[in-house]
Amino acid sequence: METAMKTTSMQSWDDNVVLSVEHLTMRFGGLVAVNDLSFNVGRGDITALIGPNGAGKTTVFNCVTGFYKPTEGRIVMRHGKSFQSEKIEALTRTGRQFNDDGDDRVFLLERMPDFEISKRAKVARTFQNIRLFGGMTALENLLVAQHNPLMIASMMTVGGIFNLPGYKKARAEAIDFAAYWLEKTGLIERADDPAADLPYGDQRRLEIARAMCTRPHLLCLDEPAAGLNPRESTELNDLLQYIRKDHGTSILLIEHDMGVVMEISDHVIVLDYGQKISDGNASHVKNDPKVISAYLGVDEDEVAAVEESIDTQNGEGGQS
């Protein structure tokens, strides 16, 4: 019955899509990291991408955020609410990167350079091995994330040099916005401390805060709960729920911690060897025999625990 539901009836994430990955293939030389993968990310959903180590999850992330150029496939980001398939087809034919009409913009991410994806398509990300600006303070980290609007406010630096009032105001607002996210992530007390000085869990949250400072429509989190203790995991859940509810930001996350995944995800996609083996809500995926066999027939939590320990040893274990 579950399988039937998956294939026939439309799920909520297929009704209002923010990101669709279509026939994505990524090869490194002879290695096929991702093979003909398609899935949709629903607007306002928390979508989880799970799978054993080496399943290609991070590769998918890197394709979505432009760090890798996919070998084949299309990745569409929609800012507008409608499905917009005609507009997307027209855009695909033109060879342009995005369609610039008002609020209903669509972006073909596989054509865009990485920084444009964050700047225009409003897709933000965090990294599996945290990439903060370690020598800069937490506040500075969040200000860097507001680079593009601040650049415009500083009139490409000219107005900033002379400290014109327009820039002063924008700067104060940027600091307020950063303070808002520091507050939300519980880091406001550490605002003036260098990022490298923060404990691990704080760094994870700071990275999320930094990504949110780009005002994204879609937030991609690469193992946000890795290395967190149970209390921090719970806080993370709350934070993600808050981001989704109060900011309407859709979330796509890679996670090994099945506790986190099952609790907060509206939609779970399971990868194995670069292919999708299951796609549905948490309870659907949990009971999918393919998923259970992919995890060696063992209880998921056990597998996850083992994998997590492997991951922390290898650092980038899930990459290839």
Partner 1 sequence: MSAAPNSGLMAESLKDAAVAAVLVAVLGFFFLALRTDIGTGGLDLTYRWGLWFAAIAIVFGVRLLLNLFIFKANKPVTSGMSVALPAGLLTVIGRFLGPFLLAVAAVLPFLLMYLFPSRDRQFIDLAILIMTYVMLGWGLNVVVGLAGLLDLGYVAFYAVGAYSFALLAQYLDIGFWTALPLAGLLAATWGVILGFPVLRLRGDYLAIVTLAFGEIIRVVLLNWYEFTGGPDGISGIPKPSFFGLEFERKGGFADFFGLDYDSIHRFIYLYYIILGLALITNFVTLRLRKLPIGRAWEALREDEIACRSLGINTTNTKLTAFSIGAMFAGFAGSFFATRQGFISPESFTFLESAIILAIVVLGGLGSQIGVVIASVVMIGGIEVLRNLGFLKEIFGPDFEPTQYRMLIFGLAMVLIMVWKPRGIISSRNPSAVYKERKKISSDMVAQGEGH
Partner 2 sequence: MEYFLQQLINGLTLGSIYGLIAIGYTMVYGIIGMINFAHGDIFMVGSFIALATFLALVALGISALPLILFITLLVSMLFTSAWGWTVERLAYRPLRGSFRLAPLITAIGMSIVLQNFVQITQGARVKPLPPQIQGGVTLIEGVTENGTIAVQLSYMQMIIIATTLALMIGFSLLISKTSLGRSQRACEQDQKMAALLGVNVDRTISLTFVMGAALAAVAGFMFLLLYGVIDFYIGFLAGVKAFTAAVLGGIGSLPGAMLGGLLIGLIEVFWSGYFSVEYKDVAAFSILVIVLIFMPSGLLGKPEVEKV
Rule CB under 8 A: which residues touch partner 1? 65-67, 114-119, 124-125, 127, 131-137, 139-140, 143-148, 150-151, 154, 157, 160-161, 175, 178-179, 182, 188, 191-197, 210-211, 214
Q: DSSP H helical segments within the chain, as ranges? A: 2-7, 12-15, 57-64, 85-94, 114-119, 138-145, 147-153, 158-161, 165-184, 200-212, 230-247, 258-264, 282-286, 289-294, 300-314
Instruction: Candidates 61-69, 206-214, 238-246, 272-280: pick the segment binding partner 2 (CB under 8 A).
Output: 61-69
- 19 close to 66: Cβ distance less than 8 angstroms: no
Both structure tokens of 187: 């880091």
Residue 197 binding result from partner 2, partner 1, none, given CB thresholds of 5 to 8 Å by partner type: partner 1
- Residue 302 to residues 37, 227, 256, 267, Cα–Cα distance (Å): 27, 16, 11, 22
Q: Which amino acid is at 285?
A: V
Q: Which is nearer to partner 1, 74 or 119 (CB)?
A: 119
Q: Which is nearer to partner 1, 113 or 248 (CB)?
A: 113
Residue 28 binding result from partner 2, partner 1, none, given CB thresholds of 5 to 8 Å by partner type: partner 2
Residue 252 binding result from partner 1, partner 2, none, given CB thresholds of 5 to 8 Å by partner type: none
Count the Cβ atoms, other than its own, within 10 Å of residue 111: 18
Which listed residue (58, 97, 126, 265) binds partner 2 by CB under 8 A? 58
Q: Which amino acid is at 53?
A: N
Does the footprint of partner 2 cover residue 319 (CB under 8 A)? yes
Does the footprint of partner 2 cover residue 28 (CB under 8 A)? yes
Number of helices (H), then strands (E), belonging to the chain: the values are 15, 11
Q: Which amino acid is at 62?
A: N
Interface residues for partner 2 in 86-145 (CB under 8 A)? Answer: 127
Kindly give, in sequence order, each residue whose CB lies less than 8 Å from that of residue 41, ignoring residues fewer than 6 positions away.
13, 17, 18, 19, 20, 21, 47, 218, 250, 252, 267
Does the footprint of partner 2 cover residue 312 (CB under 8 A)? no
Residue 150 binding result from partner 2, partner 1, none, given CB thresholds of 5 to 8 Å by partner type: partner 1
Q: Which is nearer to partner 1, 83 or 133 (CB)?
A: 133
Q: Which is nearer to partner 1, 213 or 260 (CB)?
A: 213
**Closest to 50 (Cα-Cα) out of 254, 317, 273:** 254
Q: Which is nearer to partner 1, 71 or 137 (CB)?
A: 137
User: Least Å distance between CB 170 and partner 1?
Assistant: 9
Binding site for partner 2 (CB under 8 A): 28, 58, 62, 67-68, 127, 316, 319
